């Protein structure tokens, strides 16, 4: 910790939050808010005279609320930096601290938050994890029975720097416990709460058992476990040592903890697999190893940095095997427990690895980004005719399009991230997106629907989320209807109404419009642009009398492979429920309307050629159709 504070190249900004992130790889601008401590960092020497005189005491969250702190405080004596902070929610403004600080004059109640913008080329997210609250498990009685503590409380109680100076005492009477039960998997591997294994609880259960035993050799310690998981180097040996030293391991998940109201001793009811029977044992104290869970503010950080979440709120890596340190956003990397529950050795390793990944960018003078940007066909833009428009410019999440009547719209290429929203929004087919042109996509649609279109589910997926979700379905072998035919664009904002009309005109059985959940959108507000359009289409199709479910809108993240498979299967079920004759009749009935609505798609450059080619392709595809 102190190394970081001392490092000449590292600028530690504590009590600081990230408020906005703009820009792109190599060129991020980040807005930071350094909250006012009401104490001047360059004057405070950490002597603590102020806290001595402060009359207000509140529970210290650093001590898991087991000890008080003052309204002017440091979380712990080894805080880095060692600067005091006024807790405004507790302070009564008696200003005794100001007096005690005296000549140093470090306390300034007028000190305001400081907002700065920082330019950086790469960002590493290392926001860590949080702890499951075991009071929601009714059968364990945490919060009701004083002698049940959490693992984090144990870490503080049995700690020489902690509130009791390392004395392990029972909260009910201050006595040393003679027996201790440690319960694993509290809220982990429990489908009511969190399905995952929290990774490090088995090891810290053993650690705490050994530490308590070392300190109080006569304590009887039992660890209740479902499985002991010790797969890293030296961990199994650590476990073996604990067994040799007389820690008792009972295989079984306790079903109930009760209390003797007189003694406040606890009775742990549990199966004991070795004995093959249900046991009820009495303990002076119980420690619950609560699950590791995602940070409560994970959604905020996700949307600031466009990082998708895996189930449970862990940040999702670009690829679980090949790029575990990269987030889906170029230039943003992941380290530590925010990406998934992990212990210190793994967190440190990932921190160093993320630094190396970021170093690839930061040691380069230039970085290459994909040229999938928007381009205006100037002769088609009505701006050139002096007309009012600028729809594209309003759709752009990055302010990358300048529009003024009299001139064609101008895309500022360096600002364009390539969502394609402007392309789909332009009513005059005056913009295209490189590598995802109308011509290319319309040709793909024809090919995918060349054979038995009424049996097909044409699925439009955005690159970052739903395409990844479809990959995840495959990787996890979640099977879904093979009648699905996927088509990838960068963002749901690119999913042009014309594509959907054209798909139904060609007789598609069903069409899926699918992208990121709005907080995961890779293009800030691309998804809402897509969503508005999709909702409008849904309304039109309903009015036209399309069978509900043939057009479906779903937001599916790259982690939700099961969801992708489920949605496709549900769409297949809709198709199965419509008698074939009726479906063909409906397709014919709606064709003229689709034709009419899609009529302008041919205006875009190259589309005629593309359709002509696609027709030849479709013909050839049908020739070799197996009988």
Partner 1 sequence: MIPDEGNEELRIGVYVCHCGSNIAGVIDPTVVAEYATTLPGVVRAINTPYACADSGQNLIKEDIEKYDLNRVVVSACSVRMHEPTFRAAVSEAGLNPFLMEMANIREQCTWAHGHEPEAALEKAKDLTAAAIAKAAFLTPLDMITVPVTKRAMVIGGGVSGISAALDLGDQGIETILVEKEPTIGGVMAQLNKTFPTMDCSI
Ligand X SMILES: Cc1cc2nc3c(=O)[nH]c(=O)nc-3n(C[C@H](O)[C@H](O)[C@H](O)COP(=O)(O)OP(=O)(O)OC[C@H]3O[C@@H](n4cnc5c(N)ncnc54)[C@H](O)[C@@H]3O)c2cc1C
Closest to 528 in 3D by CA, of 569, 571, 492:
492
Tell me how far CA of residue 614 lies from CA of 461, 507, 529, in angstroms.
21, 16, 29
Report 122-161 residues binding ligand SF4 (CB under 6 A).
none
Task: Give the one residue of 199, 433, 444, 466 binding ligand SF4; rule: CB under 6 A.
Answer: 433
Q: Which is nearer to ligand X, 17 or 535 (CB)?
A: 17
CB of 408 to ligand X, least distance (A): 42
Classify the C-alpha dihedral 503-504-510-512 as positive or negative.
Answer: positive
DSSP letter at 627?
-
Classify the C-alpha dihedral 79-85-89-94 as positive or negative.
Answer: positive
* 344 sits near ligand X (criterion: CB under 6 A): yes
85 binds, among ligand SF4, partner 1, ligand X, none (CB under 5 to 8 A by kind): partner 1
* 499 sits near ligand SF4 (criterion: CB under 6 A): no
Task: Give the one residue of 35, 269, 323, 428 binding ligand SF4; rule: CB under 6 A.
Answer: 428
Helix (H, G, I), strand (E, B) or coil at 611: helix
In whole angstroms, what is the distance from residue 485 CA to residue 183 CA? 49
25 binds, among ligand X, ligand SF4, partner 1, none (CB under 5 to 8 A by kind): partner 1
Phi, psi of 196 (to 5 degrees): -85, 165
Q: Which is nearer to partner 1, 45 or 413 (CB)?
A: 413
CB of 226 to ligand SF4, least distance (A): 36
* 336 sits near ligand X (criterion: CB under 6 A): yes
* 601 sits near ligand SF4 (criterion: CB under 6 A): no
Span of 126-134, 236-244, 252-260, 464-472 interacting with ligand X by CB under 6 A: 126-134
Residue count (the chain): 627
Which residue of this chain has its Cβ atom nearest to ligand X in the complex?
128
* 510 sits near ligand SF4 (criterion: CB under 6 A): no
* 196 sits near ligand X (criterion: CB under 6 A): no
How far is residue 199 CA from its own chain's centroid? 19
Task: Give the one residue of 60, 127, 184, 310 binding ligand X; rule: CB under 6 A.
Answer: 127
Q: Which is nearer to partner 1, 122 or 590 (CB)?
A: 122
Span of 116-124, 295-303, 471-479, 514-522 interacting with ligand X by CB under 6 A: 295-303
* 295 sits near ligand X (criterion: CB under 6 A): yes
Tell me how far CA of residue 246 lies from CA of 18, 200, 201, 276, 458, in angstroms.
49, 21, 19, 21, 63
Q: Which residues pair with 16 in a beta bridge?
A: 34
Helix (H, G, I), strand (E, B) or coil at 425: helix
Tell me how far CA of residue 590 lies from CA of 450, 540, 541, 577, 602, in angstroms.
19, 11, 9, 19, 20
Report 356-395 residues binding ligand SF4 (CB under 6 A).
373-374, 376, 381-383, 389-392, 395
Task: Give the one residue of 220, 343, 566, 603 binding ligand X; rule: CB under 6 A.
Answer: 343
Q: Which is nearer to ligand SF4, 107 or 372 (CB)?
A: 372
Task: Give the one residue of 202, 411, 470, 558 binding ligand SF4; rule: CB under 6 A.
Answer: 411
Task: Give the one residue of 347, 432, 437, 497 binding ligand X; rule: CB under 6 A.
Answer: 347
Give 166's contacts (C-beta < 8 A, 6+ positions apart).
158, 159, 160, 215
In whole angstroms, what is the distance from residue 515 CA to residue 512 CA? 10
In whole angstroms, what is the distance from residue 365 CA to residue 135 CA? 53
CB of 69 to partner 1, least distance (A): 11
Q: Which is nearer to partner 1, 409 or 472 (CB)?
A: 472
Give 284's contacts (C-beta < 8 A, 6+ positions apart).
147, 170, 175, 177, 178, 179, 180, 265, 266
Span of 120-128, 375-383, 386-394, 419-427 interacting with ligand X by CB under 6 A: 120-128
Residue 492 contacts residue 556 (beta carbons within 8 Å): no
Task: Give the one residue of 301, 511, 583, 618 binding ligand X; rule: CB under 6 A.
Answer: 301
* 207 sits near ligand X (criterion: CB under 6 A): yes
Closest to 468 in 3D by CA, of 323, 277, 295, 611:
323
CB of 236 to ligand SF4, least distance (A): 34
CB of 255 to partner 1, least distance (A): 28
488 binds, among partner 1, ligand X, ligand SF4, none (CB under 5 to 8 A by kind): partner 1
Closest to 438 in 3D by CA, of 375, 388, 396:
375
x/- map, 152-191, ligand X, by CB under 6 A: x--x------------------------------------
Closest to 328 in 3D by CA, of 6, 25, 69, 9:
25
- Total number of residues that touch ligand SF4 (CB under 6 A): 30
Closest to 408 in 3D by CA, of 387, 424, 427:
387
In whole angstroms, what is the distance from residue 361 CA to residue 370 CA? 15
Q: Which residues here bind ligand X, judged by CB under 6 A? A: 17-18, 126-129, 131, 151-152, 155, 200, 204, 207, 295, 297, 301, 336-337, 342-345, 347
Which residues lie near ligand SF4 (CB under 6 A)? 373-374, 376, 381-383, 389-392, 395-396, 398, 400-401, 403, 409, 411, 416-422, 426, 428, 430-431, 433
């Amino acid at each position: 910790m102190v190394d970081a504070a001392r490092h000449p190249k590292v600028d530690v900004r504590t009590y600081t939050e990230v408020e906005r992130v703009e820009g792109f790889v190599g060129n991020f601008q980040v807005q930071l808010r350094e909250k006012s401590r009401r104490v001047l960092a360059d004057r405070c020497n950490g002597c603590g005279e102020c806290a001595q005189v402060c009359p207000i005491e509140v529970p210290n969250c650093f001590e898991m609320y087991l000890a008080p702190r003052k309204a002017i405080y440091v979380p712990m004596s080894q805080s880095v930096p060692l600067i005091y902070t006024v807790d405004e929610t507790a302070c009564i403004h008696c200003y005794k601290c100001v007096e005690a600080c005296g000549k140093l004059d470090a306390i300034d109640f007028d000190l305001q938050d400081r907002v700065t913008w920082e330019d950086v080329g790469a960002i590493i997210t290392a926001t860590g994890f949080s702890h499951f609250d075991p009071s929601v498990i009714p059968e364990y009685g945490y919060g009701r029975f004083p002698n049940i503590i959490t693992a984090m409380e144990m870490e503080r109680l049995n700690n020489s720097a902690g509130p009791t100076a390392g004395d392990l005492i029972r909260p009910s009477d201050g006595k040393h416990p003679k027996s201790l039960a440690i319960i694993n998997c509290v809220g982990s591997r429990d489908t009511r709460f969190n399905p995952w294994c929290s990774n490090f609880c088995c090891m810290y259960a053993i650690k705490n058992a050994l530490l308590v035993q070392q300190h109080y050799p006569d304590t009887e310690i039992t660890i209740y476990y479902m499985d002991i998981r010790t797969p890293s180097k030296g961990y199994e040996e650590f476990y073996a040592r604990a067994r040799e030293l007389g820690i008792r391991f009972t295989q079984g998940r306790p079903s109930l903890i009760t209390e003797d109201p007189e003694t406040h001793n606890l009775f742990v009811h549990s199966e004991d697999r070795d004995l093959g029977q249900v046991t009820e044992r009495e303990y002076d104290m119980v420690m619950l190893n609560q699950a590791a869970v995602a940070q409560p503010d994970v959604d905020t950080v996700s949307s600031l940095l466009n990082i998708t979440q895996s189930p449970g709120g862990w940040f999702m890596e670009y690829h679980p095997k090949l790029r575990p340190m990269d987030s889906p956003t170029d230039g943003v990397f992941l380290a530590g427990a925010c990406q998934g529950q992990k212990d210190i050795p793994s967190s440190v390793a990932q921190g160093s690895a993320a630094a190396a990944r970021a170093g690839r960018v930061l040691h380069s003078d230039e970085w290459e980004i994909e040229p999938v940007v928007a381009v205006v066909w100037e002769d088609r833009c009505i701006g050139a005719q002096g007309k009012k428009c600028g729809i594209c410019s309003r759709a752009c999440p990055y302010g990358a399009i300048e529009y003024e009547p009299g001139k064609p719209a101008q895309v500022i290429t360096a600002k364009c991230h390539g969502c394609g929203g402007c392309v789909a929004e332009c009513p005059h087919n005056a913009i295209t997106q490189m590598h995802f042109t109308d011509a290319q996509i319309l040709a793909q649609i024809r090919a995918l629907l060349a054979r038995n279109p009424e049996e097909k589910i044409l699925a439009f997926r955005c690159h970052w989320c739903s395409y990844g979700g479809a990959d995840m379905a495959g990787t996890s072998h979640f099977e879904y209807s093979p009648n699905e035919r996927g088509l990838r664009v960068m963002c749901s904002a690119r999913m042009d109404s014309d594509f959907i009309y054209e798909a139904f005109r060609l007789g598609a059985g069903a069409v899926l419009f699918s992208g990121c959940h709005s907080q995961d959108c890779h293009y800030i507000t691309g998804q809402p642009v897509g969503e508005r359009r999709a909702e409008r289409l849904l309304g039109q199709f309903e009015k036209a009398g399309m069978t509900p479910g043939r057009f479906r809108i779903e937001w599916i993240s790259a982690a939700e492979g099961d969801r992708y498979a489920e949605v496709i299967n549900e769409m297949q079920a809709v198709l199965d429920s419509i008698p074939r004759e009726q479906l063909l009749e409906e397709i014919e009935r709606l064709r003229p309307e689709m034709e009419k609505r899609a009529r302008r798609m041919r205006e875009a450059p190259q589309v005629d050629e593309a359709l002509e080619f696609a027709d030849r392709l479709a013909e050839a595809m049908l020739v070799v159709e197996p009988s």
